[in-house]
Amino acid sequence: MDNRTNVLELIHEGMDVYNVNGDRIGEVRVVFLGGVADEVIALRGEGADSPAVDLGGEDPLIEDIAESVNVDEVPTEIAERMLRDGYVLMNAAGILKADRFIMPEHIESVSEEGVRLNVEGDGLLRR
The CA dihedral of 67, 69, 75, 76, to the nearest 10 degrees, is -70
- Domain ranges, ordered by start, for the chain: 3-126
pTM comes to 0.72
More confident residue, 58 or 109: 109
Greater pLDDT, 42 or 2: 42
| pLDDT, tens digit, 9 for 90 and up, residues 39-91 | 666 665 554 455 555 444 444 544 544 455 444 455 778 877 888 888 899 99
Kind and range of the H or E element at 77? Answer: helix 76-85
